[in-house]
C-alpha cells in the first residue's frame, strides 16, 4: 500500500519535472523548433503556389496578364509601374525541362522571341543580348525564367542569342558588339541588356529598362552569398560591370562599345567598366535586395581558358578604347534563325589574327522534296 506521505512525494516530483520541462521549452531553441514545424505545415498546405519565404512562382500571374486586353480600340500606355510585378521569384532548376514546355508556357511570345504586352502600349523596348556557345542547358533555364519575368514588367522585348561559331577561344565582349549591331539593325531598341546565360534574376522589381547612365544589374549573386560583388572583389572606383548590364544605344556608342580583343576568360568586363567612365558616364545599380541573381553552377568552359594577357590589356584601356571597339568590330554572320523563343545569330568572329573564312558550321540542309518514284524505289 502506498502511504499518503509517499503520494505527496510523487506529486511534488511530478510537478518538479513539469516545471523543468516548461523551463526548457520556453528557451529560444524551442521557439525555433516550433517555427520549423509550422513552416513544414504551411509548405504542405500551400501546394507550392506562393513560396513566400523563397519567392513566388514566376508563372503565377501570367494568365491574368494575357487576359488584360485593351478596354477600347485606342491603346493607351501601360502604367509607369506594372501591376504584375510581384517582387522575389522562386528559382530552382528542375531536371527534364524542355524548350517545348517553355514555349507552351509562353503563348504570347512570337517568332524570334518577341513580345508586346497585349493590353497596353509599352513605355519601353528592350533587347536582351546573350553571348553563347555550348550552354544549351543553361539557356533553357534562362528562357524559362526570363520570358515571364519580362512579361510581368510589361515590356516590348526581344531575345537575341549570339552564338560564336567554331572552336576558337571564346570572346564574350566581341559577341556583345555583334549583338548590339545586329539587334539595332532589326529594331530601334531603346535599351540593351547584355546578359550572361547562367544568371537568373530573382526579383522582378529589377526592371529591365535603362537608366540615364549605364546600369549594372547583377550586383548580388548567390555564389557570393548575395553580398555586393563590388565590395567582395574589392574593386576600385565602383567599376565592376560583369554578368548583366544595361545600356542605351547612345551609352554604347559614347564608350565605343566593348573591346574586341579579350580572348578567353576574364578582364573584358573590367575594361567595359573603365570605358563607361572614359565615355564620361558613371555606373548606376539597383539595390542589393532587388539586383539578386542565382547562378547556374558550372566550371570554366573548354575553349575559354583564363586570358593571361588580361592585366596588361587592362592597363592600356585608356589608350586603346577609341581604337578598338564598336567602330572596328569585324565579323561574318553565318546563320540567322527566328526561333519560337529567341533569335539565334551564329557568327564567325575570327581569331586574334583577324577574320578569316568561317570554320565549318553545320548549316541546315536545304529540304529537297523526294520524288514519289524515288521513295517507292527504296522499298
User: Binding of ligand UDH at residue 303 (CB under 6 A)?
Assistant: yes
Helices (H) and strands (E) in the chain, counts: 12, 11
User: Binding of ligand UDH at residue 157 (CB under 6 A)?
Assistant: no
Which of 86, 90, 114, 133 touches ligand UDH by CB under 6 A?
A: 133
User: Binding of ligand NGS at residue 196 (CB under 6 A)?
Assistant: no
The Cα 103–Cα 78 span in angstroms is 25
Binding map of ligand NGS across residues 226-245, x = CB under 6 A, - = no contact: -------x--------x---
Bridge partner residues of 343 (DSSP): 160, 338
Please identify, using beta-carbon distances, which residue of 10 and 311 lies nearer to ligand NGS: 311
Q: Annotate 136-199 with DSSP letters as a single string.
A: HHHHHHHHHHHHHHHHHTT-EEEEEEEEEPSSS---HHHHHHHHHHHHHHH---SEEEEE-TTE
Cβ(254)–Cβ(210) under 8 Å?
A: no
The Cα 280–Cα 253 span in angstroms is 12
Please identify, using beta-carbon distances, which residue of 212 and 233 lies nearer to ligand NGS: 233
Binding-site partner at residue 233 among ligand NGS, ligand UDH, none, CB < 5 to 8 Å by type: ligand NGS
Please identify, using beta-carbon distances, which residue of 215 and 310 lies nearer to ligand UDH: 310
Choose the binding region for ligand UDH from 10-18, 38-46, 128-136, 255-263 (rule: CB under 6 A): 128-136
Cβ(59)–Cβ(97) under 8 Å?
A: no
Bridge partner residues of 162 (DSSP): 131, 345
Binding-site partner at residue 131 among ligand NGS, ligand UDH, none, CB < 5 to 8 Å by type: ligand UDH
As given in the structure block, the three cell numbers for residue 279 are 565615355
Binding-site partner at residue 269 among ligand UDH, ligand NGS, none, CB < 5 to 8 Å by type: ligand NGS
Instruction: Supply φ then ψ for residue 247, to 5 degrees.
Output: -140, 150
State the DSSP code for 231. Answer: H
Cβ(293)–Cβ(222) under 8 Å?
A: yes
The minimum distance between CB 283 and ligand UDH, in angstroms, equals 18
The minimum distance between CB 285 and ligand NGS, in angstroms, equals 16
The Cα 162–Cα 182 span in angstroms is 9
Q: How far is residue 218 from each of residues 58, 173, 202, 238, measured CA to CA in Å? A: 18, 17, 10, 14
User: Binding of ligand NGS at residue 195 (CB under 6 A)?
Assistant: no
Residues 254-283 that bind ligand NGS (CB under 6 A): 266-267, 269-270
Binding-site partner at residue 207 among ligand NGS, ligand UDH, none, CB < 5 to 8 Å by type: none
Bridge partner residues of 246 (DSSP): 193, 215
Which of 86, 90, 132, 216 touches ligand UDH by CB under 6 A?
A: 132
Which of 19, 53, 300, 361 touches ligand UDH by CB under 6 A?
A: 300
Residues 299-358 that bind ligand NGS (CB under 6 A): 310, 314
Binding-site partner at residue 132 among ligand UDH, ligand NGS, none, CB < 5 to 8 Å by type: ligand UDH
Instruction: Supply φ then ψ for residue 309, to 5 degrees.
Output: -90, 0
Cβ(129)–Cβ(176) under 8 Å?
A: yes
Choose the binding region for ligand UDH from 72-80, 302-310, 358-366, 371-379 (rule: CB under 6 A): 302-310
Residue 34: burial class (beta carbons within 10 Å; 0-12, 13-18, 19+): exposed
As given in the structure block, the three cell numbers for residue 295 are 547562378
Binding map of ligand UDH across residues 189-208, x = CB under 6 A, - = no contact: -------xxx----------
Please identify, using beta-carbon distances, which residue of 55 and 266 lies nearer to ligand NGS: 266
State the DSSP code for 257. Answer: S
Site residues, ligand UDH (CB under 6 A): 130-135, 170, 172, 196-198, 265, 300-301, 303-304, 306
Site residues, ligand NGS (CB under 6 A): 233, 242, 266-267, 269-270, 310, 314
Amino acid at each position: 500500500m502506498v502511504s499518503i506521505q509517499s503520494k505527496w512525494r510523487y506529486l511534488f516530483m511530478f510537478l518538479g519535472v513539469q516545471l523543468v520541462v516548461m523551463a526548457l521549452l520556453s528557451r529560444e531553441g524551442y521557439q525555433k523548433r516550433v517555427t520549423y514545424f509550422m513552416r513544414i505545415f504551411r509548405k504542405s498546405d500551400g501546394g507550392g503556389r506562393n513560396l513566400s519565404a523563397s519567392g513566388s512562382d514566376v508563372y503565377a500571374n501570367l494568365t491574368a496578364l494575357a487576359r488584360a486586353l485593351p478596354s477600347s480600340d485606342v491603346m493607351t500606355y501601360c502604367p509607369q509601374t506594372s501591376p504584375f510585378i510581384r517582387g522575389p521569384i522562386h528559382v530552382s532548376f528542375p531536371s527534364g525541362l524542355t524548350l517545348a514546355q517553355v514555349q507552351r508556357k509562353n503563348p504570347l511570345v512570337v517568332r524570334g522571341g518577341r513580345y508586346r504586352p497585349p493590353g497596353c502600349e509599352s513605355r519601353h523596348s528592350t533587347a536582351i543580348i546573350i553571348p553563347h556557345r555550348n550552354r544549351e542547358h543553361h539557356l533553357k533555364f534562362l528562357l524559362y525564367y526570363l520570358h515571364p519575368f519580362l512579361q510581368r514588367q510589361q515590356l516590348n522585348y526581344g531575345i537575341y542569342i549570339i552564338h560564336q561559331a567554331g572552336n576558337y577561344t571564346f570572346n564574350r565582349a566581341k559577341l556583345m558588339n555583334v549583338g548590339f549591331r545586329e539587334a539595332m539593325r532589326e529594331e530601334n531598341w531603346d535599351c540593351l541588356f547584355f546578359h550572361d546565360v547562367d544568371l537568373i534574376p530573382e526579383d522582378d522589381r529589377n526592371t529591365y529598362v535603362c537608366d540615364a547612365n549605364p546600369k549594372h544589374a547583377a550586383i548580388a549573386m548567390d555564389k557570393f552569398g548575395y553580398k555586393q560583388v563590388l565590395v567582395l572583389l574589392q574593386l576600385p572606383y565602383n567599376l565592376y560591370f560583369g554578368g548583366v548590364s544595361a545600356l542605351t544605344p547612345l551609352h554604347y556608342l559614347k564608350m565605343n562599345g566593348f573591346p574586341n580583343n579579350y580572348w578567353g576568360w576574364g578582364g573584358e568586363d573590367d575594361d567595359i567598366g573603365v570605358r563607361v567612365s572614359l565615355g564620361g558616364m558613371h555606373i548606376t545599380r539597383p539595390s542589393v535586395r532587388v539586383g539578386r541573381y542565382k547562378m547556374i553552377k558550372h566550371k570554366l568552359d573548354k575553349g575559354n581558358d583564363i586570358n593571361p594577357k588580361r592585366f596588361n590589356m587592362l592597363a592600356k584601356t585608356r589608350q586603346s578604347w577609341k581604337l578598338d571597339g564598336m567602330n572596328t568590330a569585324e565579323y561574318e554572320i553565318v546563320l540567322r534563325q527566328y526561333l519560337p523563343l529567341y533569335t539565334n545569330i551564329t557568327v564567325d568572329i575570327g581569331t586574334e589574327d583577324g577574320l578569316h573564312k568561317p570554320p565549318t558550321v553545320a548549316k541546315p540542309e536545304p529540304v529537297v522534296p523526294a520524288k514519289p518514284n524515288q521513295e517507292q524505289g527504296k522499298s
